[in-house]
């Protein structure tokens, strides 16, 4: 039985750790190496993890460090991992009892380089005991490297790491890590690098095995701030690396257009008023929009909507665009 290293980065997660831990001890697959990395939490996260580390139900490793951010924290876990497979779990989410077993079984004949499951959103505060775990769907899709990259870049396969099982040897042989200067959208580049080095297809199940807690306080769903530009800057290396794969180029540009659309949406919802940044995001999106029509795996809704966004944004954000007093950050390092 192959070992799975489960990497769980934790920052101020005391509210959610009970659910997370129960998800892990109730997994039907038992050859697990659980690596919790406490990223300088200021609440009771470390106390809870220290308590569980003394129990013998799991192969449990606890790493405590000063606050370094999600990317560096996951990288610490990766360097510690000794498993054949790597799985990333966010501590505020819940996983189906058979998630790891099913993802492992999909890879066991070594025909595939990653496995993937679907997810659903849940309300914040739902307890593990409240779940009635039932799942009868069992259809599979096989995707080669090219189709994996195409679907991933236009969000058809999601930009997250937590609904995928990765092979440790691909990660280690190709020195694949998270961008440590990126604090938002860090999953996209990691997944892209992994998929780029695939030599075999991936396998996807239509089962919902992951339960994503949508927190109002999370950065993903909070009002716009300039840290969100991390996500856009982190995509530039993807666009550059795709130049060697002409068939993938339109999808990389489509990804940036979609991210710019998301940023303009959150700007409209907030009071953010740096006109230079807003104007630059609109310009970025305008440059990437023409590539959308070349992408097979993007919905007609998005294909028709996104080209309209730059014009709409100029109208809706007209007053804010006049505020040119603030400088535009030029790279992720400008936020440090």
In 3D, which of 297, 212, 286, 206 has the Cα closest to residue 16?
A: 212
Q: How many C-beta atoms lie closer than 10 Å to residue 26's C-beta? A: 13
Write out pLDDT tens, residues 115-148: 999 999 888 888 888 888 888 778 999 999 999 9
Q: Under CATH, what is the fold of the domain 4-219?
A: Spore Coat Polysaccharide Biosynthesis Protein SpsA; Chain A (3.90.550)
pLDDT at 296 over 70: yes
Q: How much is the pTM?
A: 0.90
Across residues 220-248, what is the average pLDDT?
81
> So where are the chain's domains?
4-219, 223-335
Three-state DSSP state, 115? strand
Query: What pLDDT is attached to residue 225?
Result: 73
pLDDT band for position 336 (cuts 50, 70, 90): very low
pLDDT band for position 229 (cuts 50, 70, 90): confident
Q: Which of 61-70, 128-137, 205-214 has the lowest mean pLDDT?
A: 128-137
Name the CA radius of gyration of the chain, rounded: 20
Write out pLDDT tens, residues 2-15: 999 999 999 999 99
Across residues 297-302, what is the average pLDDT?
88
pLDDT at 50 over 60: yes
d(CA 112, CA 286): 38
pLDDT band for position 52 (cuts 50, 70, 90): confident
Query: What pLDDT is attached to residue 231?
Result: 77
d(CA 193, CA 38): 26
pLDDT at 23 over 70: yes
pLDDT band for position 57 (cuts 50, 70, 90): low
**Cβ-proximal residues to 163 (8 Å cutoff; 6+ apart), any chain:** 116, 117, 118, 119, 209, 210
């Amino acid at each position: 039985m192959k070992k799975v290293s489960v990497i769980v980065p934790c920052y101020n997660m005391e509210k959610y750790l009970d659910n997370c831990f129960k998800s892990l001890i109730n997994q039907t697959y038992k050859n697990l190496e659980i690596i919790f990395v406490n990223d300088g939490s200021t609440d009771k996260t470390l106390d809870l993890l220290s308590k569980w580390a003394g129990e013998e139900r799991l192969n449990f490793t606890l790493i405590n460090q000063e606050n370094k951010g999600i990317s560096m924290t996951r990288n610490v876990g990766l360097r510690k991992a000794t498993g054949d497979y790597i799985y990333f779990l966010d501590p505020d989410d819940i996983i189906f009892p058979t998630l790891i077993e099913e993802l492992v079984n999909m890879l066991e004949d070594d025909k595939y380089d990653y496995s993937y499951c679907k997810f659903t959103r849940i309300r914040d505060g739902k307890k593990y005991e409240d779940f009635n775990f039932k799942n009868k769907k069992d259809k599979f899709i096989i995707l080669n490297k090219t189709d994996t990259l195409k679907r991933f870049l236009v969000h058809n396969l999601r930009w997250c790491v937590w609904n995928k099982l990765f092979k440790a040897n691909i990660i280690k042989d190709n020195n694949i890590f998270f961008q440590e200067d990126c604090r938002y959208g860090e999953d996209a580049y990691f997944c892209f690098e992994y998929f780029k080095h695939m030599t075999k297809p991936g396998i996807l199940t239509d089962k919902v095995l992951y339960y994503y807690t949508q927190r109002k306080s999370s950065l993903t769903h909070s009002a716009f701030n300039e840290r969100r530009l991390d996500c856009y800057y982190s995509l530039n290396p993807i666009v550059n690396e795709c130049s060697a794969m002409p068939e993938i180029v339109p999808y990389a540009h489509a990804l940036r257009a979609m991210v710019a659309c998301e940023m303009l949406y959150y700007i409209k919802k907030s009071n953010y008023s740096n006109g230079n940044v807003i104007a630059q995001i609109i310009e970025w999106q305008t440059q990437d929009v023409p590539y959308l029509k070349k992408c097979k795996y993007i919905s007609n809704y998005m294909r028709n909507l996104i080209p309209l966004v730059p014009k709409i944004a100029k109208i809706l954000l007209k007053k804010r665009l006049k505020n040119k007093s603030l400088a535009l950050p030029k790279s992720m390092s400008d936020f440090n």
